[in-house]
Amino acid sequence: MRRMRSLRAALTAAATAVAALGLAVVSGAPAQAATPLPAHVFAPYFESWTGESPAALSAQSGAKHLTMAFLQTATKGSCTAYWNGDTSLPIDTKSFGADIKTIQGRGGDVIASFGGYTADTTGTEIADSCADVDQIAAVYQKVITTYDIPRLDMDIEVDALDNTAGIDRRNKAIKKVQDWAASTGRELEISYTLPSTTRGLAASGLALLRNAVANGARVDVANIMTFDYYDNAQHDMAQDTKTAAQGLYDQLAKLYPGKTPDQLWGMIGVTEMPGVDDFGPAETFTVANAKEVYAWAVSKKINTLSFWALQRDNGKCPGGGARDDCSGIEQGTWDFSRIFAPFTSGGTAPSDDFSLAASPAAATLKAGNSATSTLKTAVTAGTARTITLTVSGAPTGVTASLSPTSVTAGGTSTLTVSTTTAVVNGTYDIVVTGTSPQASHSTTYSLTITGGSGNQCTAAPWSSGAIYTAGQQVSHKGHTWKAKWWTTGEEPGTTGQWGVWQDLGAC
């Protein structure tokens, strides 16, 4: 998958080492054999460079299993892997260990993913970078035992698909670590995540799997990326998922002639990209597409459902292009996660469900003025139910109201935001939540106030593109914040008390 990585990837380990207060304590004792993953699992990718807590977002989204992206070397030629290639985030329980234990304690688990677009184009994917098969296998083993996890994922694309030496080293190392796991009684699965056409793997992806067979490396899951086709065509993304997976099935049947149809479907994974993908609007995966793919995946009994990425599962940037923090379409927060989550237990998605979105989703007001936004609901499954709407997050000097306060799915409501001159300048998130008998969704309306006469902030406003060093102060959403260390692109107030920004109070 593409990593639209900004300078915020350089966040120090302090932002993620502790992650969030109250996470499980990690023991220094040797890891025990991991619990196997369910036969059918939903495990969206988590962007591990953002400074956010995977355990917190897992709980918020309902995604009990996560695929952590990505492990890679810091420099080409190295045999040492780090999270995001960041030397401050080694393979150690101090890096995400508490989060992973917390997720496991809730009945979920984590899949560690090696590679990704950035590593695969810079020679820092571990098998492309390191020429020693034994050292590559040792890295795989270290990840497994450090985090006590049951599956490793290899996200191989672009240049790494053409690196035949790296492909051969990787599969030889996989075979070694599988032999080690078998000798110790440990359950271990290997998945390959590969780009796809609408008719299955391209020749390079198929050659990679053939090399795995030749090396005796067992591939438990062949996971295809059903997006970024880049063929300049208009796509029905749900239909293309089905044809791509059928093409993969036919390819696997030839590679593994001894497997039954159920076994072949049981080794297939599908990874979507919610909303607008890297190519553009012609390849847009909608909430309706997700419902269709979910029903198909259940019927075929495939192994894995996933998407790129958890932090994109929100409607903060409707009408935009591909971003790493939103989908680019109108949707409620966690809409895609909630549709796919029941796949893990083999259950069904909510029979009567809806979406909720604000249009427009943001406004800038001079204090004393007002604005409105239309809250749109739509039926995404089953029949229309009554949705009760509530609003929260308005600061002192701002009134937010809804009319009507309940609608039938498919209807609209109007959010009215009124301000007084006494309001404090800043940007505020007004959250509207819709609740039906079977589901709950929320959407955010971003309100920026100027010209207020309330207690005003004297520090310069925070800018997402600016670089801040320890001790520098900014104003954001009516509060003053002080940086604890070097940072850029990390929004004050989003990472909790253990994050980079210290809240100095309202201003």
Write out the DSSP string of 151-183.
Answer: EEEEE--GGGGT-HHHHHHHHHHHHHHHHHHHH
Clarify whether residues 438 and 336 are in a common domain: no
The arithmetic mean of pLDDT across residues 184-199, rounded, is: 96
20 in a domain, yes or no?
A: no
Task: Report the pLDDT value the prediction gives residue 29, as an integer from 0 to 100.
Answer: 34
Clarify whether residues 308 and 385 are in a common domain: no
Q: What digits encode the pLDDT tens for the residues 128-171? A: 999 999 999 999 999 999 999 999 999 999 999 999 999 999 99
Task: Report the pLDDT value the prediction gives residue 72, as an integer from 0 to 100.
Answer: 98
The pLDDT-based confidence of 495 (bands split at 50, 70, 90) is: low
Task: Report the pLDDT value the prediction gives residue 345, as an integer from 0 to 100.
Answer: 74
pLDDT of 348 higher than 80: no
Residue 222: which of 195, 251, 191 has the closest Cα?
Answer: 191
The count of other CB atoms within 10 Å of the CB of residue 505 is 8
Q: What digits encode the pLDDT tens for the residues 64-106? A: 999 999 999 999 999 999 999 999 999 999 999 999 999 999 8
The pLDDT-based confidence of 4 (bands split at 50, 70, 90) is: very low
**What is the spatial distance between Cα 192 and Cα 211, in angstroms, rounded to a whole number?**
12
Clarify whether residues 387 and 300 are in a common domain: no
22 in a domain, yes or no?
A: no
The arithmetic mean of pLDDT across residues 478-486, rounded, is: 84
Clarify whether residues 416 and 289 are in a common domain: no
Task: Report the pLDDT value the prediction gives residue 244, as an integer from 0 to 100.
Answer: 98
pLDDT of 22 higher than 50: no
Place of tokens 């120090």: 12
SS3 labels along 71-103 = EEECCCCCCCEEECCCCCCECCCCCCHHHHHHH
29 in a domain, yes or no?
A: no
What pTM was estimated for this model as a whole? Answer: 0.70
pLDDT of 216 higher than 60: yes
Residue span of the structural domain in which 386 resides? 355-450
The count of domains in the chain is 3
Q: Are the beta carbons of 44 and 84 closer than 8 angstroms?
A: no
Query: CATH number, domain at 408?
Result: 2.60.40.10
pLDDT of 15 higher than 50: no
User: Among residues 349, 369, 385, which one ends one of the domains?
Assistant: 349
440 in a domain, yes or no?
A: yes
Clarify whether residues 323 and 372 are in a common domain: no
Q: Kindly report each contact of residues 227-232 with a partner whose C-beta sits within 8 Å and lies 24 or more positions away, as own/partner.
A: 227/271, 227/272, 227/273, 227/277, 227/278, 227/279, 227/283, 227/285, 227/308, 228/2, 228/195, 228/273, 228/277, 228/278, 228/279, 228/283, 229/197, 229/198, 229/279, 229/283, 230/279, 231/197, 231/198, 232/282
User: Among residues 332, 349, 366, which one ends one of the domains?
Assistant: 349
Is the model more confident about 23 or about 171?
A: 171
The count of other CB atoms within 10 Å of the CB of residue 218 is 14
Phi first, then psi: what are they for 112, rounded to 5°?
A: -90, 125
E strands, 420-478, where?
426-435, 440-450, 467-468, 473-476
Place of tokens 């932090």: 311
pLDDT of 454 higher than 90: no
18 in a domain, yes or no?
A: no
Clarify whether residues 428 and 282 are in a common domain: no
The arithmetic mean of pLDDT across residues 407-431, rounded, is: 91
E strands, 13-60, where?
41-42, 45-47
User: Among residues 349, 364, 393, which one ends one of the domains?
Assistant: 349
Phi first, then psi: what are they for 276, rounded to 5°?
A: -85, 130
Clarify whether residues 115 and 194 are in a common domain: yes
The pLDDT-based confidence of 7 (bands split at 50, 70, 90) is: very low
21 in a domain, yes or no?
A: no
Task: Report the pLDDT value the prediction gives residue 347, as an integer from 0 to 100.
Answer: 52
Task: Report the pLDDT value the prediction gives residue 449, as an integer from 0 to 100.
Answer: 87
Clarify whether residues 304 and 436 are in a common domain: no
pLDDT of 5 higher than 90: no
**What is the spatial distance between Cα 14 and Cα 95, in angstroms, rounded to a whole number?**
9
Clarify whether residues 176 and 308 are in a common domain: yes
63 in a domain, yes or no?
A: yes
Average pLDDT of the chain, as a whole number:
89
Q: What digits encode the pLDDT tens for the residues 276-321? A: 999 999 999 999 999 999 999 999 999 999 999 999 999 999 998 8
Phi first, then psi: what are they for 379, rounded to 5°?
A: -75, 125
With both helix axes pointing from N to C terminus, report the angle between 164-183 and 133-147 in degrees, rounded to the nearest 10: 50
Clarify whether residues 371 and 268 are in a common domain: no
Is the model more confident about 185 or about 10?
A: 185
Clarify whether residues 96 and 191 are in a common domain: yes
Place of tokens 């099935």: 249
Query: CATH number, domain at 498?
Result: 2.10.10.20
Q: Amino acid letter at 45?
A: Y
Clarify whether residues 334 and 361 are in a common domain: no
325 in a domain, yes or no?
A: yes
The arithmetic mean of pLDDT across residues 450-458, rounded, is: 74
Task: Give the number of residues written for the chain.
Answer: 507
pLDDT of 28 higher than 80: no
